[in-house]
Structure 1
Amino acid sequence: MNRFTAALATLSILAGPAAAQPATKARDTGEPAFRALYKELVETNTTFSAGDCTLAAQRMADRMEAAGFPKSDLHVFTPPGKPKDGGLVAVYPGRDPKAKAVLLLAHIDVVEAKREDWTRDPFTLVEEDGYFYGRGSFDDKAQAAIWTDLLIRYRREGYKPRRTLKVALTCGEEGGGQVNGAAWLAQNRRDLIDAGIALNEGAGGQLSPDGKPVVHTVLAGEKTFQNFVVEATNAGGHSSRPTPDNAIYDLARALDRISRYEFPLQLNDATRGFFAGMAKVVGGEEGAAMTRIVADPTDKTADAVLRKNPSYRAVMGTTCIPTLLEGGHASNALPQRARATVNCRIFPGEPAEAVREALVQAIGNPEVKVSFANPPRPPKSAPPLTPAVMKPIEAVSEEIWPKVPVIPILQAGGTDASHLNAVGIPTFGVSGIFVDPDLGRIHGLNERIRVKSLMDAREFSYRLVKLYADQKD
């Protein structure tokens, strides 16, 4: 109870008649049940090497069935030939069958974790000094537990949403070797996950070193992952008779030219909103440059200031960087072949072929070939950031974290949102999970999440999803 509320309560007591009213009972949020669900999920190993996503999905389905969900609304699926790579789609029917559903997506697979490297057993959830520790305690079983618990909580309370709610818990997002469940559903069971909007991981809140909320972010778009092979070939020969047209030299020169090439600045709803919002948070020279770049994308001085920061440069357009090298066939022979893998993160909406052509032009040597290392995805622009998307987030965020700015971001990495956006389901990352500057040590040793952050995010999602579920068209 805050001081203002306490003061009102005191005035009511002093007023006389109201003093006879019984005290209001605290709302039962079912936190103990949520903690048990979260613990079971974290302690179910879902690594590629030794885990079982299907088991984790079935355990969540069992909890939902015990809470009153009919089996017909619980769809545990497994991709053909991959019995441990399964997932769950749970459906909570809405009042209006014509209204588009709200999809809540989270992945349940986790990055590998070796017990000998960790301070604690990575597959035993430990609560210590205000943190939960364990592999997946943050990424992404926190979100998966919140979504699963949320539907159970709604059913327990008798809530009847206007729109159907769906929870999809999937495997394979981490790329460890499992079938990607989100992609499999999008390609094979689009009807099961069909929705007008999807909420996913990929964004959340940032805490200062002393644990105070600084900014709340919303993932409003992702860059596309694309690998290219840059290759130089040559007839070769004996190493005692060197020639100037050495394949390794040609490749080295090509990579040097790529290193000096900057793709043009590109802005969309996500990056405009990010720079406009962060300008007030960052301040100084960088903040001023952010304000100027939004007002005038041709401002080269502002562009140069921002590109000095790798985090800003990563979202200002397409980026390409060599990540693997291979060359030659013998220590005493001129190389007949030298190649590099160049990893590009392509700005939403830009065709992969245009990026390949830009690399060819930057290299400027017709003897060096640039080809696709993996089949390119069709270009897909980020879904628009409409008021219908942002206002519910801003409203609930203000209730829980007053005066903390809500800022859209473009994800330079990637999540399963790309698979849903590709089939026309607009997907946004919004978790309400605030993390320390160490980002919860995701993918690293001793992964953790603040207990308060998890519980606040649970309440945030509970309120937020109701706004979307009852939203008018």
Structure 2
Amino acid sequence: MPRRSFAAVATAGFLLSSCFTAMAGETPPPLRPDQSAFVDLYRELVETDTSQATGDCTLAANRMLARLRKAGFGAGQADIFVPDGHPKDGGLVARLDGTDAKAPAMLLVDHIDVVAARREDWPRDPYTLVEADGYFIGRGVIDDKALSAIWVDSLIRLKAEGFRPRRTIKIALTCGEESGEAVNGVKWLLENRRDAVAAGVAFNEGGYGMTDADGKPRALYLAVGEKHSQTFLIEARNPGGHSSRPRADNAIYDLSQALLRIRDLAFPIRMTDANRTYFDRMGNVVGGEMGAKMQRLAQGKADAATIAAVTAHPVYNATLRTTCVATTLEGGHAVNALPQRARAHIQCRLFPGDSVAETERLLRDAIGDARVELSRVGEAGVVAVPPPLDPAIVEPAEAVARELFPGLPLIPTLLTAGTDGRYLSAAGIPTYGIPGILLDADGNGAHGVDERIRVRSVMEGRDYLHALIKRYAR
């Protein structure tokens, strides 16, 4: 079934008036009242600086609390939490009580802190929401305040609709996801306010939709599990000497050889229900020879050449196995001296179930040089537990997609990055990255200059997620 035409979508009210050019003599359709209210809420959240260095998550949380209070959420139904000694690392918890006390709650969780944005790097104030050329532009518009705004907005809409959920709907907006210097709000809640986040299932960032280079929608992605990271330091040392008397044993050369061996290290491929489904369904989306190879891999029929072709794609490769890559490099101390030290950081993203110890062993075996030292930088900490590929989660998401994104497939995927969901999943709360907002093929500038998201994507994602929340809550 084809996607709705542009005109049909606009008529349905899914687009802001500035997202399209009206035909000659036409007046763009006005915003629905609920859309105007949402944009106002979204703007306030984006325009509250919540970066670690210069921002205040507690202020943002209080502003969202004021909106919930106005909507009728009293004390105990919506409240602020602030970790001791960290007055700016606070967050918001809220709930809409269900009718069935025995039904496990559902948790809508998201981080409201953002990566810092320097004014001198941006052509405009990064903490002012700008709407231009069909995009919202500003720090946090996609990572991750669109979803946070949708969670608060949905709770307000449900209250106004008089919706009676069977299971309690909880919200937790937290700080500390983007910076290790802040208190992680999800971790703090689990340790200090477990009642606020206790749930049978949680929905988080990490799921999304994807368009092609021309903005045409391709798929919705439901994140079923995520990787966890472990950083290693690799270092070569040498007595050094005068650069006029070079020798073959050289710390930079030794390190370089070790890094090339790590580059060539291929970790074992791991197949799960989630990535089998991913490669089978993505094969249909990709099509052609590559699509057929992806489906053979999903069916367990791939030969070495097929595996090599699929894993040559960085995203597909990362979806199938643990990966390790050099991210920093440092060596030598003077231009006229042989290097006494050379070092690099290796960032590994571990496939669910792979251990740090086994990953370290494989790295040591690949390096194969006693002159090169390998050590861990910190510990992986909490490791995410992948949730099941549960029809009770997948089927409602597919059903709403058929209604609002007809013809667009919903594809389970492994999130190759990490989120706060690792704390929830490790605590026994299955956590899924929920789709709905369609991203551009270039990543939308998240963490960079001119972070942006299509107005259309936010508005359609808002309606998709609101409808999905109601299905899950029943």
Alpha-carbon distance in structure 1 between the residues aligned to 2:175 and 2:138: 18
Other-structure match for 2:324:
320
Aligned-CA RMSD value: 2.4
Choose from 208, 221, 227 the match for 1:223: 227
Which of these residues, 355, 358, 366, is aligned with residue 354 of structure 1? 358
Query: Retained in 1: the 8 A contact 2:230–2:350?
Result: yes
Q: Which amino acid counterpart does residue 190 of structure 1 have in structure 2? A: R
Deviation of 1:29 after TM superposition, in Å, equals 6.8
Report the counterpart of residue 460 of structure 2 in structure 1: 456
The residue type equivalent to 2:67 in the other structure is: R
Q: Distance in 2 between matches of 1:2 and 1:289?
A: 34
Matched positions, count: 448
Whole-Å separation in 1 of the counterparts to 2:67 and 2:382: 39
Question: What CA deviation, in whole Å up to 9, does each residue of 1:170-208 have, x standing for no partner?
Answer: 112222743222233234333321111111111211223
1:143 paired to 2:147:
yes
CA change 1:154–1:360 in 2 (3 A) is: same
1:44–1:56 contact (8 Å) kept in structure 2:
yes
CA contact (8 A) 2:384 2:421 kept: no
Distance 1:314 1:241 in 2: 44
Alpha-carbon distance in structure 1 between the residues aligned to 2:44 and 2:253: 55
CA deviation profile, 1:270-314 (whole Å, cap 9, x unmatched): 321211111011112211110111112662111100122122112
**Distance (Å, rounded) in 1 between the aligned partners of 2:340 and 2:293:** 47
Instruction: Label 1:121 to 1:89 Cα distance change in 2 as closer, same or farther (>3 A).
Output: same
Which letter maps to 1:206?
A: M
Distance 1:81 1:285 in 2: 57
SS at match of 2:463: helix
Does residue 203 (structure 1) correspond to residue 207 (structure 2)? The answer is yes
2:472 corresponds to: 468
Say if 2:81 is the partner of 1:77: yes
Partner of 1:191: 195
Say yes or no: does 1:394 pair with 2:393.
no
- Distance in 2 (alpha carbons) for counterparts of 1:444 and 1:244: 42
SS in structure 2 opposite 1:96? coil
Matches within 5 A, 1:130-169: 130-169=134-173
Q: Aligned equivalents of 1:233 and 1:242: distance in 2? A: 15
Q: Is the 8 A contact 1:109 1:170 kept in 2?
A: yes
- Give structure 1 stretches of 5+ with no counterpart: 5-27
Paired position in structure 2 for 1:12: none
Which AA in structure 2 matches 1:168? Answer: A
Range with bigger deviation, 452-461 or 236-245: 236-245
The answer as to 2:377 corresponding to 1:373 is yes
Work out which of the two has the higher radius of gyration on C-alpha atoms and give 1 or 2: 1
1:311 is matched with 315
Identity across matched positions, percent = 52
Given the alignment of the two structures, is residue 54 of structure 1 paired with residue 58 of structure 2, yes or no? yes
Separation of aligned partners in 2, 1:130 and 1:56: 26
Q: Secondary structure of 1:71's partner?
A: coil
Q: In structure 2, give the amino acid aligned to 1:422.
A: A
1:107 aligns with 2:111: yes
Q: How many Å apart are 1:135 and its aligned residue? A: 1.7
The Cα of 1:431 is off from its aligned counterpart by: 3.4
Partner of 1:92: 96
Q: Extract unaligned runs of 5+ from structure 2.
A: 9-31
1:238 to partner: Cα distance? 5.3
- The farther-off stretch of 293-302 and 425-434 is 293-302
Could you say what secondary structure the match of 2:80 adopts? strand
Question: Residues 324-366 of structure 1, C-alpha deviation per residue, up to 9 Å, x if partnerless?
Answer: 2233445555444332211101111111111000001111123
Tell me how far apart the structure 1 counterparts of residues 88 and 332 of structure 2 sit (CA, whole Å).
41
Q: Which residue is equivalent to 1:440?
A: 444
Tell me the SS of whatever aligns to 1:227: strand
Within 2, Cα distance between the matches of 1:212 and 1:293? Answer: 27
Q: Distance in 2 between matches of 1:72 and 1:396?
A: 31
The alpha carbon displacement at 1:239 in A equals 5.2
Aligned mates of 2:300, 2:307 — CA distance in 1: 10
- CA contact 1:351–1:379 (8 Å) conserved in 2: no
Q: Is the 8 A contact 2:276 2:299 kept in 1?
A: no
CA distance in 2, matches of 1:220, 1:444: 26
Distance, in Å, in 2 between the alignment partners of 1:2 and 1:83 is 46
| Alignment match of 1:179 (pick from 180, 183, 196) | 183
Shift of 1:419: 2.1
Whether the 8 Å CA contact 1:247–1:337 is kept in 2: the answer is: yes
